[in-house]
Structure 1
Amino acid sequence: MEILSGRVLLRPVDRERSLAFYRDVLGLAIAREFPGGTVFFMGSGYLELSGQADAPSSAAVALWMQVRDLDAAAVELAAHVVREPRKEPWGLSEMWITDPDGTRIVLVQIPPDHPIRRDTR
């Protein structure tokens, strides 16, 4: 099997509320829109909001987004922070926020000396 592309799909309870969050609060650019859905650019990936859920999902799903300045993101997104920025044992600085349906979003800053930055694969 060959995977040609992929994206994260979210089924929001309130599409307009979630659309406003990802577009206006996080500032994600829209890649394309179609009846009933919106696809956002999310770094080197995509996030699609489409369909509708009857209730917030209890599935263990989290979005991982790298930012340049985690401290600045903490100030900008203070109303959405559920865990303050901290350096993790694996060397990344992380902060957690949630979207309107409670989906966890892990915002990550990668220090200059972290192995991810040195990996040439």
Structure 2
Amino acid sequence: MKFGGVCIETDNASRLAEFYKVVLQEEPFVEGSHYGFGKVAIYNPGGVTVAKEKNIWLTFGVVDLDAEYGRLLREIPDIEVISTPEKKPWGTYSFWFADPDGNKISVFQEREDNKITAG
């Protein structure tokens, strides 16, 4: 089995798509209320109730964590930072933030040996 991607259902797809457009630095493919960013999709099928508590995190690896953190703070001034850049107890250098719907996102610095130590 191969992972194909994730779809975030929301009651405000255009708002969430604008947020992820900045985060992912790419224009989405748009078809109606569906916004595609490669393996991340944003969709409003209608009648969605956005849950307050989330049980899933999106995780992205970057080469320069501090530069990415600074970019997001500049480009999304009201970003909800959960955890500033720090080395986590399990060894990952990362920061965490939330999107406008409260979905949590972890950004970690990729290691030189290309092993993923997400978290």
Larger Rg: 1
Q: 1:113 to 1:91 in 2, by over 3 A?
A: farther
Contact 1:91–1:111 at 8 Å: present in 2 too?
no
RMSD of the TM alignment (CA)?
2.2
Deviation at 1:19, TM superposition (A): 0.8
Instruction: Please list the CA deviations of residues 78-111 of structure 1 after superposition, one character each: whole Å capped at 9, or x if unmatched.
Output: 2422210111233221100111101100001023
Contact 1:13–1:101 at 8 Å: present in 2 too?
no
Aligned mates of 2:58, 2:97 — CA distance in 1: 10
Instruction: Please list the CA deviations of residues 51-98 of structure 1 after superposition, one character each: whole Å capped at 9, or x if unmatched.
Output: 253234523111000111110112112242221011123322110011
Aligned mates of 1:37, 1:57 — CA distance in 2: 22
Identity of aligned residues (%): 27
Aligned mates of 2:100, 2:108 — CA distance in 1: 20
Aligned mates of 2:21, 2:40 — CA distance in 1: 11
Contact 2:54–2:102 at 8 Å: present in 1 too?
no
Q: 1:4 to 1:63 in 2, by over 3 A?
A: closer
Aligned mates of 1:29, 1:66 — CA distance in 2: 19
Counterpart amino acid of 2:19? F
**Aligned residue in 1 for 2:9:** 11
- Residue 74 (str. 1) matches residue 72 (str. 2): no
User: Structure 2, unaligned stretches of length 5 or more?
Assistant: none
1:49 pairs, out of 30, 42, 49, with 42
User: Structure 1, unaligned stretches of length 5 or more?
Assistant: none
Runs ≥4 residues deviating over 6 A: none
